[in-house]
Amino acid sequence: QNVRGLNDPNHFKNKIKYLSNTNSNIIITQETKLKKIPSQTKNSIFSTSIQASGGVGLIHDDSILGDSNIVNNRIITFITQHFILINIYAPNDIYERVTFFDSIDSLLTQIKKNNPKLPVILAGDFNTHLNIFDTSNSKNFNPKQKDKITLQNLLNKHNLID
């Protein structure tokens, strides 16, 4: 579901209503590009974007209770009794992505230290293709690109699976 146009309060309200009426327990969004945080609806949290990029959101139904936190305009965490969900929107720039993935590594280390038994779901838009099958443009695929290596190291370190 395209979430463009969420800066319009009516569009935001209609999208939240639409997404809430799906049979999903949790819905995450990226690239919301919200300039200001709209009046939060029940069971939702959204970050604002900086300039023309960023913005993440999370909507959950009443069956899932947890603590949500806006880390920055590209990261939201949601910690429940049963799992940890981290919704991300990685930058488009390769060098910014490397720094971003390093910050996710630090965040994961901290969160897992406080919640060692909870499984972690790291989801969102990584803006990175880890293997050639993830892209339609295989000619430009470079497995030795720094962001790919950093992300793969992050996944390995925290026992996450792509």
Lookup: tokens for 12 = 């935001």
Question: How many whole angstroms separate alpha carbon 161 and alpha carbon 155?
Answer: 7
Q: Digits of tens for pLDDT over the chain (162 positions)?
A: 556 667 777 777 777 777 778 888 898 988 888 877 766 667 888 888 877 778 898 988 888 889 999 999 899 999 999 999 999 999 999 999 999 999 999 999 999 999 999 999 999 999 998 888 877 777 777 878 899 999 999 999 999 988
Among the listed residues 76, 141, 153, the one whose alpha carbon sits nearest the alpha carbon of residue 111: 76
pTM of the model: 0.88
Question: How many whole angstroms separate alpha carbon 98 and alpha carbon 1?
Answer: 28
Among the listed residues 45, 10, 13, the one whose alpha carbon sits nearest the alpha carbon of residue 27: 45
